[in-house]
């Protein structure tokens, strides 16, 4: 393994805290990874990693070497991507993590167009609703709904989605139609939470020009957008969702909008990536492509639009 590959391997081990995880990410045998790090430590004359039964952590020397290695690798990638051939014909593996609903309903139905435009980019796509660690998991960029919480990432707004509060006819038959947002506290609501923290998102409504949060009672909480919609359809309680996701259910009457006279704050959708002085061409072209895709579907992003914090 040459020095460049060894640096890549070392940084991935530090970021993932695992020899096996780094080896899998780079598609090499674990034994090769172990041997390469031993050679690197011997060449440097310093111990870089502390190994325990559960985790691999950098030593003090290893942490200092990691910081320098990151800068060296970033400079090398910047040098490579500055070449016109890479800029006009980007290539390599692009690792994306997409919100499940947006992947299924917006991005994946058109992803063939991206491939036709950039045939030398290979895509590795994960999806779901959990918050991911871009650096630790080797993700190039993500598409997520909600106000970005991670200040170290660059976020480009794709759309501000209109939302509605709704419920199934069977739920409204049992509990009655709401006449004012203040009644939300007396109703049942389907809870939604991110899988890597226990925060339960409230319902939000604009009342007299101010965004007010309400926390209905409830007996079910989910962490997946599709499960959230299905719980609403099953009569488990009120749900608050982007309108585009449930247009068919509203049209057929399987769901009924409530509190239509009180608008919900819009839900922002953003594409996010790590901050770098020069964005890799494969990432840049995807960001531009997906931005155009959302503008075509939802229109231009209005400056200064207020948004709710809940990810959904």
CATH of the domain at 143: 3.40.190.10
Q: Give residue 21's pLDDT band: very low, low, confident or very high (50, 70, 90).
A: confident
Rounded Cα–Cα distance for residues 40 and 59 (Å):
14
Q: Give residue 276's pLDDT band: very low, low, confident or very high (50, 70, 90).
A: low
Q: Give residue 274's pLDDT band: very low, low, confident or very high (50, 70, 90).
A: confident
- The predicted structure's pLDDT at residue 311: 39
- Is residue 307 in some structural domain? no
- Same-domain pairing of 193 and 48: no
- Is residue 303 in some structural domain? no
- Same-domain pairing of 246 and 278: no
Residue 290 burial by Cβ neighbours in a 10 Å radius (0-12, 13-18, 19+): buried
- Same-domain pairing of 273 and 151: yes
- Same-domain pairing of 149 and 167: no
CATH number, domain at 49? 1.10.10.10
- Same-domain pairing of 167 and 152: no
Instruction: Give the structural domain span for 53.
Output: 3-81
CB atoms within 10 A of CB 262: 15
Asked whether the predicted pLDDT for residue 209 surpasses 80, the reply is yes
- Over residues 103-109, the mean pLDDT reads 94
Domains contained in the chain, number? 3
Segment (H or E) for 116? helix 111-117
291, two tokens: 């931005």
Q: Which residue is listed with tokens 């020397």?
A: 61
With CA atoms as reference, report the closest residue to 61 among 50, 43, 48. Answer: 48
Query: Taking a C-beta distance cutoff of 8 angstroms, is the pair 310, 146 a contact?
Result: yes
- The predicted structure's pLDDT at residue 87: 61
Report pTM. 0.72
- Same-domain pairing of 148 and 61: no
- Same-domain pairing of 9 and 47: yes
- The predicted structure's pLDDT at residue 54: 74
| SS3 at position 82 | coil
- The predicted structure's pLDDT at residue 264: 95
């Amino acid at each position: 393994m040459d020095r460049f590959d060894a640096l890549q391997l070392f940084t991935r081990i530090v970021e993932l805290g695992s020899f096996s995880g780094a080896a899998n990410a780079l598609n090499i045998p674990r034994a090769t990874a172990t041997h390469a790090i031993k050679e690197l430590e011997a060449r440097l004359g310093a111990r870089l990693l502390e190994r325990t039964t559960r985790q691999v952590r950098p030593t003090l020397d290893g942490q200092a070497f990691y910081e320098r290695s990151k800068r060296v690798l970033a400079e090398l990638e910047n040098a490579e991507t500055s070449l016109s051939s890479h800029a006009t014909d980007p290539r390599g593996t692009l690792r994306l993590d997409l919100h499940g609903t947006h992947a299924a309903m917006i991005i994946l139905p058109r992803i063939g167009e991206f491939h036709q435009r950039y045939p030398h980019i290979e895509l590795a796509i994960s999806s779901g609703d959990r918050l991911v660690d871009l650096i630790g998991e080797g993700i190039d960029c993500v598409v997520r709904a909600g106000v970005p919480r991670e200040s170290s990432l660059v976020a480009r707004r794709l759309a501000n989605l209109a939302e509605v509060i709704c419920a199934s006819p069977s739920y409204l038959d049992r509990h009655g139609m709401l006449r004012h947002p203040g009644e939300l506290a007396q109703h049942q609501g389907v809870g939604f939470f991110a899988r890597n923290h226990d925060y339960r998102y409230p319902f939000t409504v604009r009342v007299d020009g101010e965004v007010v949060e309400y926390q209905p009672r409830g007996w079910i909480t989910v962490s997946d957008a599709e499960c959230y919609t299905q719980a609403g359809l099953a009569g488990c309680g009120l749900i608050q969702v982007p309108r585009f996701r449930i247009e068919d259910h509203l049209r057929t009457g399987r769901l009924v909008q409530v509190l239509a006279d009180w608008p919900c704050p819009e839900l922002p959708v953003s594409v996010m990536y790590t901050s770098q002085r020069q964005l890799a061409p494969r990432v840049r072209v995807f960001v531009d492509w997906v931005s155009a895709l959302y503008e075509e579907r939802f229109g231009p992003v209005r400056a200064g639009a207020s948004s709710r914090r809940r990810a959904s």
